[in-house]
Amino acid sequence: MRLVKKKITIAVLLMMLSSIFLFPLSVFGAEKEDMANGEFIVGMEAAYPPFNWTQSDDSNGAVLIQGSNQYANGYDVAVAKDLAKTLDKKLVIVKTAWDGLLPALTSGKIDAIVAGMSPTDERKEQIDFSNNYYTSNLVMMVRSDGDFASAKSIDDFTGAKITAQLGTFHYTVIPQIPEVQQQQAMQNFSAMRVALESAIIDGYVTERPEGVTAQKANSHFKMVEFSQDGGFQTSEEDTAIAVGVRKGDPNLAAINEYLNNFSVDEQNALMDKEIGFQPMSDDEHQAWYRQIAAIAMENADLFIRGAGMTLFISLIGTIVGTLIGLLIGVFRTIPESENKFLAFIYRIISFLVTAYIEIFRGTPMIVQAMVLYYGTALAFGLNLDRTIAALLIVSINTGAYMSEIVRGGIFSVDIGQFEAAQAIGMTHRQTMIKVVLPQVIRNILPATGNEFVINIKDTSVLSVISVSELFFQGSTVSQQNFMYFQTFAIICVIYFVLTFTITRILRFVETKLDGPDAYVPISNQMQVE
């Protein structure tokens, strides 16, 4: 028994290792140098124009986003570049989800947040902030053809359906509007823009630079500005934005010294310049199907890479998960040892295995991704590569499901075959390898295929740890072109083609494996040699 396990463990390890090496080196090459001295690693969403956005070339001084072939640009990028120069370090930009910025900083995955973030008291409990590098006003984004397009003050929004980004102070000022129907806060600007365009909401609260950008990018949007008296009451701590650093960061003094010389006039000049740099889509006035075709052509490379990454993570995750499932399934068939010590060890492992299965089946993968990726950094100072973290999560998660499926697969091999194998002198190990496992593998094949298809879809949640799979690429593209329906229609088709093809291939393999139902006896002349 021990031998089988060893072999399987080695197989799992080899699989993990080879997957690491097979993976496009560009991605890993960049990440290898993480945390090396001389780098200033800055986190931002790269999706909050004009503070920060993603573009596909290095025009206007854009900076390559780590682990991708995309570039970040915007007001924050310009400031980050100056800061890096001041600190005499090489600037590295890491695209990080808004919710992930704080944990990424405290766990040491990035050195600073330059992401249009305001230095609120709440945040100050966890991290330190520099002096302000911009101060902005709150505005309201509405539909240009909607009822609120001509609003002048927040009172004009009485009874409107309004929202703002989750975790921002924008959301907390909404109750200042009389009788407002405050909607659920949304994860990011893409979501709010889609909601606004499709009239799910009447408006969202944002800051002026973002508003200017959105209005410029999409003619369906209009930014409503308020006079001093007609607008939201805000505190300076909210409207200002500053650079976030880890508590006690020795670089803070140098950063502040630089920012002290960065006057308000310079700030406004830079902001105007950056707003002018924002990538605009020229596809806006075409028919929607032409837009889809154009987006598909322009981003084919990106989508193919995303689909490749999705397939890669799902495939490796499913294979490793299935091996984990088989290992656990086989482990559970081991007859109780007569040796007291071995029996004790067996029971401990048994308990751990049960705990593993219950925990991973009982929590969402998106949460597991957050805990594993940021938790390992926080608890052990371990800086996991995002792709490896993704592979780990999908594998472990799949393993938990597969071990139950394997258990069922083993049960479905009738006890008589175990006894027959025993009766001709086979050991438990031989019985498993020769008789039981081949049948289990055939039995679990449909369920494994199903897991694979589920994984292809579920890996989309890994965008929370910025894994560049298909959904993440779709978000990136749509944040640049503001054409959410068109972009995600393409993503949708790609997902469907992936899952449909795989389902068909698996069906075909199954029927091939089973062979014909009827048997034609060999004629007597044609004896078996």
**Which residue ranges make up the site for other proteins (CB under 8 A)?**
413-414, 416-417, 419-427, 430, 434-435, 438-439, 442, 515, 517-519, 521-524, 527-528
Min dist CB 513 to other proteins, Å, is 10
- In angstroms, how far is the first alpha carbon of the chain from the final one? 35
| Nearest to other proteins of 362, 515 (CB atom) | 515
| Structure tokens, 424 | 């001709």
Min dist CB 423 to other proteins, Å, is 4
Min dist CB 347 to other proteins, Å, is 21
Q: Which residue has the tokens 């909401």?
A: 201
| Nearest to other proteins of 333, 430 (CB atom) | 430
Nearest partner of 155 among 252, 226, 54, judged by Cα? 226
| Rounded-to-integer distance, Cα 246 and Cα 109, Å | 11
Min dist CB 22 to other proteins, Å, is 32
| Nearest to other proteins of 250, 521 (CB atom) | 521
Distances (CA, A) of 240 to 53, 120, 143, 163: 20, 9, 27, 21
Min dist CB 338 to other proteins, Å, is 11
The alpha carbon of residue 175 and the mean position of all alpha carbons in its chain are separated, in whole angstroms, by 32
| Nearest to other proteins of 261, 524 (CB atom) | 524
The amino acid at residue 131 is: N
Min dist CB 318 to other proteins, Å, is 22
| Structure tokens, 337 | 């040892």
The alpha-carbon radius of gyration of the chain (Å, integer) is 28
Q: Is the separation of the CB atoms in 484 and 194 below 8 Å? A: yes
Min dist CB 430 to other proteins, Å, is 5
| Nearest to other proteins of 18, 422 (CB atom) | 422
Q: Is the separation of the CB atoms in 112 and 41 below 8 Å? A: yes
| Structure tokens, 458 | 């579920």
Min dist CB 452 to other proteins, Å, is 23
| Nearest to other proteins of 297, 423 (CB atom) | 423
Min dist CB 448 to other proteins, Å, is 17
| Rounded-to-integer distance, Cα 112 and Cα 76, Å | 11
Min dist CB 339 to other proteins, Å, is 13
Nearest partner of 394 among 501, 467, 500, judged by Cα? 467
| Rounded-to-integer distance, Cα 138 and Cα 161, Å | 17
Min dist CB 8 to other proteins, Å, is 19
Beta-carbon neighbour count of residue 521 at 10 Å?
A: 6
SS3 414: coil
Distances (CA, A) of 436 to 351, 415, 425, 433, 439: 24, 10, 15, 6, 5
DSSP category for residue 155: G
| Nearest to other proteins of 332, 428 (CB atom) | 428
Q: Which residue has the tokens 């006057």?
A: 263
| Nearest to other proteins of 297, 528 (CB atom) | 528
Strands 90-95 and 112-113, by their bridges, are unpaired
| Nearest to other proteins of 200, 426 (CB atom) | 426
Q: Which residue has the tokens 């020769």?
A: 434
SS3 415: helix
| Nearest to other proteins of 142, 432 (CB atom) | 432
| Nearest to other proteins of 233, 523 (CB atom) | 523
Min dist CB 406 to other proteins, Å, is 16
Counting Cβ atoms within 10 Å, is residue 47 exposed (0-12), middle (13-18) or buried (19+)? Answer: buried
| Rounded-to-integer distance, Cα 477 and Cα 56, Å | 9
User: CA angle 158-159-160, nearest 5°?
Assistant: 95
| Nearest to other proteins of 18, 417 (CB atom) | 417
